[in-house]
Chain A
């Protein structure tokens, strides 16, 4: 084999081709593929992150729901307790009111009785006075014996 100008020309062609391949094929395409790889990796990582966040949010939501349920139960229990209290209070008030009314009625009755008694006493006194005056006729002066008669009436 001779070292000829063909060999040199081929060396130059080879070097030029390496340069061209790097420029138009390897360079842009490998850059593109690398970027795509990175994008895909990023996307997968983001998806993974999103999934984790969703799981976390679900857990949080469950926790919030259970807390809310507990609170609701507490509130209901409190409300029931308060309701019972209100009922008890109402009962108490009603009883007191009833007692008061009964007491008032009793007092009125007593007053009425007293008044009736007084009335009766007066009438008895008058009747006694009228009877006595009829019996005694003029012997008894109504004016002179008024105190006596009143005394009598009070004793009846």
Chain B
């Protein structure tokens, strides 16, 4: 917990927003300093949540009811149908990769975002007992995760652009796209910005929302820490609980919305890549 001094507060927040970095890290700030910097906490939690998805799906897949689905299968089927409808509505043509991709993004991002709802001090505290000094439990508050997702999507965008339009067609899109053949240099700049903005906006939007959400949780958590004496405790602790609950409820919407936005934009971008006549 933080002390009541200002320096302590900053330290508390910074401590919580520092990844467990191994390898090529700055020894003072614990930030990644070179290529060989591994954020163990990010990797651990994201892979763990991915494994949860796979295991739950596998267990569900072992006793699927063909005609009388019940309980959990119904729930999963409704998610599948929701994602499938999104793909059907926004994606032109047919590509068997899009729906599993969208489903993966939605489930995984949602679960990673969900880590935000676990009390901010709980897991770092447990970690400190077994000698882990830094622990950032929400993988999507790490740019490495969000940019990994958006860059993968970007790679797919480029791949399908070239596959559908042909290398020539893709190049033509850069040369002639918004303003026709008389403003080729402007076109190149505009299209390049447009294309690069796709992965950047995808990754940064998710990162920004989750980072800010985590920060608000930290600030709310600081309230109780600030009240160390007497009567203030009776006022501030209920206030903290109330604020935390409010932000929690609001944040459930945010994490779902962010997962949904990431999914839908992925579908839309890949759909645009599949339209040959731009």
A7 near B80: Cβ-Cβ < 8 Å? no
Do A11 and B57 have beta carbons less than 8 Å apart? no
Q: Which of B61-69, B169-177, B178-186, B250-258 is near enough to bind chain A?
A: B61-69
B84 touches A30 (CB 8 A): yes
Instruction: Check A24 against B58 for contact (C-beta < 8 Å).
Output: yes
A1 within 8 A of B: yes
Q: Which of B34, B42, B54, B97 makes the CB contact (< 8 A) with A2?
A: B34
Minimal beta-carbon separation of A46 from chain B (angstroms): 15
Contacts of B9 in A (CB 8 A): none
**Is B148 close to A, CB under 8 A?**
yes
Q: How far is the CA of A39 from the CA of B103 in the complex (A)?
A: 25
Q: Which of B45-89 contact A (CB under 8 A)?
A: 46-47, 50, 53-54, 57-58, 60-61, 64, 66-67, 76-77, 80-81, 84
Task: Identify the stretch in A14-22, A73-81, A127-135, A145-153 within 8 Å (CB) of chain B at 4 or more residues.
Answer: A14-22
CB neighbours (8 Å) of A4 from chain B are: 24, 32, 34-39, 144
User: Are B46 and A13 in touch, CB under 8 angstroms?
Assistant: yes
Q: How large is the interface on A (under 10, 10 to 19, 20 to 34, 35 or more residues)?
A: 20 to 34
Whether A5 and B61, one on each chain, are in contact in the complex, defined by CB atoms closer than 8 angstroms, is no
Interface residues of A in 41-93 (CB under 8 A from B): none
Give the number of chain B interface residues (Cβ < 8 Å).
Answer: 47
Whole-angstrom CA separation of A102 from B225 in the bound complex: 145
Q: Does any Cβ of B come within 8 Å of A155's Cβ?
A: no
From B64, B104, B144, B152, give the contact of A6 (CB < 8 A).
Answer: B144
Chain B contact surface mostly? helix
Asked whether B54 lies within 8 Å of A1 as measured between CB atoms, the reply is no
Which residues does chain B contribute within 8 Å of A33, judged by CB atoms?
77, 80-81
Identify which of A3, A9, A29 contacts B77 (C-beta below 8 A).
A29
Of A2, A10, A30, the contact of B149 (CB 8 Å cutoff): A10
Q: Closest B residue to A16 by CB, please name it.
A: B50
Chain A hits for B32, CB < 8 A: 2, 4, 6
Asked if A24 contacts B54 (CB within 8 A), the reply is yes
Asked if A29 and B76 make an inter-chain contact with CB atoms under 8 angstroms apart, the answer reads yes
> What is the distance, in angstroms, from A40's C-beta to the closest C-beta of chain B?
9
| 6 nearest A-B residue pairs (beta carbon) | A10-B148, A22-B100, A25-B57, A6-B144, A26-B100, A24-B57
Binding site for B on A (CB under 8 A): 1-11, 13-18, 20-22, 24-30, 32-33, 35-36, 39
Enumerate 27 A-B pairs (CB-CB under 8 Å) in ascending A order: A2-B37, A4-B34, A6-B37, A6-B38, A6-B39, A6-B142, A7-B148, A9-B38, A10-B43, A11-B151, A11-B152, A13-B148, A14-B104, A17-B54, A17-B108, A18-B97, A18-B100, A20-B57, A21-B53, A21-B103, A21-B104, A24-B61, A25-B100, A28-B64, A29-B77, A29-B80, A36-B66
Identify 10 new A-B residue pairs, CB closer than 8 A, beyond the known A28-B64, A32-B64, A36-B66. Answer: A1-B144, A4-B34, A6-B37, A7-B148, A9-B148, A17-B50, A18-B101, A21-B103, A25-B57, A25-B100
